[in-house]
């Protein structure tokens, strides 16, 4: 029997209208445009409106991806959303998107892997589509990180933004998704986390606020090492030489982390899709949004070899090698 693959047949993205610039942030906390640009590479980010949820953004991205793929909502039979900022504890965002699209009767769920959420979701959907268990999958990364940020904490509030990106996956005789690589290491749970949930009882004397907590400098060091090892693994698994990737589509966390990963791969920054400047770090949404930007502006074309990678809270990290 010939091996089946899954391939991306459409991409989409959705960004909230409101833009928050570095200059705006300098009015809110003790920071400067210069510090944010030089330390992170970010100039502006989009922030969801008061009544706009992760599902709203996910739906917008999903509709665009389906339009490009030429599929109707009724053609979808698998739906997974990477998100750490769901609208509510349940129903999961996958079910909420189903309801918006007027479809149902098949598996829909969200998975929580922080900034690696889309890579994890893509890998799961690939298993279903390439094995014939699903025919058309919607894979979404969607976040409203702005809801869990302390807007008085300059060490985190300058970094994050909101958005959603989506792809449609369909079966194909040829790759498609060539390989995916997922990793996690819970021993780093205290370097990047959100202390509130539903099951952990908060104590009255807890000094932790209900906001994202990050030891940025320590996260930075582990992220660089782990991303280097996952891209090495991806290249070795597929017998690829340095310089053979057409486009690197990294998680948009920090310009310096991305530059170090590109160097490891022997790639110039012209071959790296960057949206960090305009989107900030949108967690699980950053990779699919960057892919969509590059497909729509004509840089990424059919047949190109893409390397997607991400690193986030958990820690979780992962990569996907794709013949687009």
Residue ranges binding ligand ACO (CB under 6 A): 31, 35-36, 39-40, 114-115, 154-155, 158-159, 192, 216-217, 219-220, 223, 253-254, 257, 281, 283, 311-313
Nearer to ligand ACO, 99 or 150 (CB): 150
Residue 115 a catalytic site member: yes
Catalytic residue among 14, 251, 254, 279: 251
Strands 316-323 and 192-193: unpaired
Nearer to ligand ACO, 155 or 229 (CB): 155
The nearest distance, CB 222 to ligand ACO, in angstroms, is: 9
Residue 301 a catalytic site member: no
The nearest distance, CB 170 to ligand ACO, in angstroms, is: 29
Cis peptide before 315 (omega within 30 of 0): yes
The nearest distance, CB 45 to ligand ACO, in angstroms, is: 13
Catalytic residue among 14, 46, 115, 279: 115
Nearer to ligand ACO, 149 or 265 (CB): 149
Nearer to ligand ACO, 19 or 222 (CB): 222
The nearest distance, CB 25 to ligand ACO, in angstroms, is: 8
Residue 92 a catalytic site member: no
Name the residues annotated as catalytic: 115, 251, 281
């Amino acid at each position: 029997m010939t091996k089946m693959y899954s391939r991306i047949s459409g991409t989409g993205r959705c960004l909230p209208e409101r833009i928050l610039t570095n200059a705006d942030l300098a009015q809110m906390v003790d920071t400067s445009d210069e510090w944010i640009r030089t330390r992170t590479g970010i100039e502006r980010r989009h922030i969801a409106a008061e009544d706009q949820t992760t599902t709203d953004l996910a739906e917008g991205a999903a509709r665009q991806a389906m339009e490009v793929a030429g599929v109707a909502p009724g053609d979808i039979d698998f739906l997974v959303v990477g998100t750490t900022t769901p609208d509510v504890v349940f129903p999961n965002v996958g079910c909420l998107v189903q309801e918006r699209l007027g479809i149902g009767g098949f598996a829909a769920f969200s998975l929580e892997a922080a900034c690696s959420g889309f890579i994890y979701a893509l890998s799961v959907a690939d298993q279903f589509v390439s094995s014939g268990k699903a025919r058309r999958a919607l894979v979404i990364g969607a976040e409203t990180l702005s809801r869990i940020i302390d807007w008085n904490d300059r060490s985190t509030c300058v970094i994050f933004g909101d958005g959603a990106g989506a792809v449609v996956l369909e079966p194909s005789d040829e790759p498609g998704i060539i390989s995916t690589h997922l990793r996690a290491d819970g021993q780093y749970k205290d370097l990047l986390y959100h202390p509130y949930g539903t099951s952990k009882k908060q104590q009255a004397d807890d000094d932790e606020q209900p906001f994202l907590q990050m030891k940025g400098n320590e996260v930075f060091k582990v992220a660089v090492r782990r991303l280097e090892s996952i891209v090495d693994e991806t290249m070795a698994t597929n017998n690829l030489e340095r310089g053979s990737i057409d486009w690197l589509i990294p998680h948009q966390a920090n310009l310096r982390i991305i530059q170090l990963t590109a160097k490891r791969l022997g790639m110039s920054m012209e071959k790296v899709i960057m949206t960090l400047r305009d989107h900030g770090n949108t967690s699980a949404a950053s990779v699919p949004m960057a892919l969509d930007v590059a497909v729509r502006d004509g840089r990424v074309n059919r047949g190109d070899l893409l390397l997607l990678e991400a690193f986030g809270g958990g820690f979780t990290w992962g990569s996907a090698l794709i013949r687009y």
